[in-house]
Amino acid sequence: MLNIVLFGPPGAGKGTQSAKLIEKYKLVHLSTGDVFRANIKGNTELGKLAKSYMDAGNLVPDEVTIRLLESEVDKNPDAKGFIFDGFPRTRAQAEALDTFLAGRDTTIHQMIALNVPEEELVKRLLERGKESDRPDDKDENIIRNRIKVYNEQTAILADYYSSQNKYVSVEGVGKVKAIFDRLSYVIDSLNAKS
Ligand code: ADP
């Protein structure tokens, strides 16, 4: 298996690059944000619960998110591997993921971070907000809160994976294809090792 955490702040380009990576490497894309949004659309209990947190740009509680992630992984028993996008976002989530994958005789092989300066993130998200129906992309205060939450709760996961020698960061500014090539280079060198 090949399990990658695609990491970086809101607006870093994780969704865009994930879509290209799963096609090239035949992995399953697992975005907790996408699953929450699908639940909001479907008006499920989970969607109702997640919505209030998401609209404010805060994190959905760990317990709920971890359970959701685990059930999504288990829906794909034949997967060659996963790209985790937007998960883990807290230390508790990272620890839960390690335990869960170990129970399935696998692990995270690499965290790849997309490095993008904050002002570029805000610009990209406001741009996306004009075309999408994501309420969290329409208001600069909410966008800035998401980046703040990222800096306070999520950024530390770079150290978590670094201490397991599983962290690498790539430049997330430039042409989509150029960034994709940087990510592919990292994944190809992982494949060469295994
Ligand atoms: P972005 O990275 O652009 O903020 P996401 O789609 O990844 O977009 O996440 C949108 C929102 O969904 C987050 O602000 C948060 O409220 C919720 N969410 C997504 N993933 C998680 C997670 N792993 N833990 C807690 N909340 C999450």
Q: Is residue 93 part of a domain?
A: yes
How far is the C-alpha of 184 from the C-alpha of 174, rounded, in Å? 15
In a domain, 109, yes or no: yes
State residue 13's pLDDT score: 97
Say if residues 95 and 163 touch (Cβ distance below 8 Å). Answer: no
pLDDT for residue 53 is more than 80: yes
192 domain-assigned: no
Distance 163 CA to ligand 1 centre (A): 24
pLDDT exceeds cutoff 80 at 157: yes
Please report, for the domain that includes residue 172, its CATH number: 3.40.50.300
Is 169 part of a structural domain of the chain? yes
- 107 inside domain: yes
- For residue 30, tell me if it sits in a domain: yes
**CB–CB of 88/6 below 8 Å?**
no
Domain residues for 22?
Answer: 2-186
pLDDT of residue 193: 77
The Cα–Cα gap between 174 and 160 comes to 27
What would the DSSP string read from start to end of 128-150? Answer: HHHHS--GGGS-HHHHHHHHHHI
Mutate to test the pocket of ligand 1, among 36, 37, 49 (most ligand atoms within 8 A of CB): 36
CB 33 near ligand 1, within 6 Å? yes
Residue from 32, 55, 121, 139 whose mutation best tests the ligand 1 pocket (most atoms within 8 A of CB): 32
Rg (CA), the chain: 16
Tally of domains in the chain: 1
Does 43 reside within a domain? Answer: yes
Q: What's the pLDDT tens digit per position in 112-132? A: 999 999 999 999 999 999 999
Ligand 1 proximity of 7 Cβ (cutoff 6 Å)? no
Full-model pTM: 0.96
Whether 149 is in a domain gets the answer: yes
pLDDT in tens, 5-46: 999 999 999 999 999 999 999 999 999 999 999 999 999 999
Q: Is the pLDDT of residue 176 over 90?
A: yes
Over range 135-150, report the average pLDDT. 97
Mean pLDDT for all residues in the chain = 97
pLDDT at 192 over 90: no
